[in-house]
Amino acid sequence: MSAFVSEIIGTMLLILLGNGVVAGVVLRHSKAENAGWVVITFGWGFAVMIGVYAAGIYGGAHLNPAVTVGLATAGTFPWADVPAYILAQFIGAFIGAVLVYVHYKPHYDATDDPGAKLATFSTAPGIRSTPFNVIGEIIGTFVLVFGILSFGANTFTDGLNPLIVGFLVVSIGLSLGGTTGYAINPARDLGPRIAHAILPIKGKGTSDWGYSWIPVVGPIIGAVIAALLYGILVP
């Protein structure tokens, strides 16, 4: 139960701070309005770091179904615990998205662009091309999971791993995130997308359900490929 709750809290913090930086950059009359992509990528990296630090006290601090599935595929996490972790991650992501909405409510009301509002909840591609959007999420998540597994084979000073993972996410965002918004996490995208559909957001428009499967399927495939390749290279 402690691990379940810690995954909820860690993922909630991840989304609150990650989607929070997007909201600050894209919503009208925010003091961070138009701060740009670099601010968003670093905000997400720090969000991952803080979420992992918070969740790591009692649990594995995965915060991401793709990471959970990848670690289980690699044999470093029990498959029996996968459903509970994923459920906790989706709950935490939903709560985090709701808190972002509450925090920025006047700015949502002041923003006319429904696409900007959706961007504070979930991802969307720069150019909509289903095969390449899926490939982009596969590659980004491959780097994430392969990096996490590789970090486990190295020795760091106690407490440094979450910081390193945070910078890994910054690197992915800066180098690979411009195509799809680098969801690289099914809970990060689908949980807040559900919140977007449910919340009474003024002028919110569609939740883009036609795209919603890509940030779920792509990351899972990428995580499994990373785990299998790592298992071949490091038996």
Q: How many domains does the chain have?
A: 1
Q: Determine the pLDDT at residue 158.
A: 65
Q: Determine the pLDDT at residue 99.
A: 98
Residues whose CB falls within 8 Å of the CB of residue 137, separated by 6 or more in sequence, listed in order: 180, 182, 183, 184, 214, 215, 217, 218, 219, 222
Q: Determine the pLDDT at residue 30.
A: 98
Q: Determine the pLDDT at residue 64.
A: 98
Q: Determine the pLDDT at residue 234.
A: 83
**Per-block average pLDDT, block size 10, for the chain (235 residues)?**
93 98 98 98 98 88 97 95 97 98 98 98 98 98 96 72 94 98 98 98 97 98 97 85
Read off the CATH number of the domain in which 131 is found.
1.20.1080.10
pTM attached to this predicted model: 0.96
Q: Determine the pLDDT at residue 156.
A: 64
Distance, CA of 175 to CA of 80 (rounded, Å): 35
Residues whose CB falls within 8 Å of the CB of residue 12, separated by 6 or more in sequence, listed in order: 51, 92, 93, 95, 96, 99
Domain span at 202? 2-233
* Burial call 21-54: b when 16+ CB within 10 Å, e when fewer: bbbbbbbeebebeeeeeeebbbbbbbbbbbbbbb
Distance, CA of 235 to CA of 233 (rounded, Å): 6
Asked whether the CA dihedral 234, 141, 4, 84 is positive or negative, the reply is negative
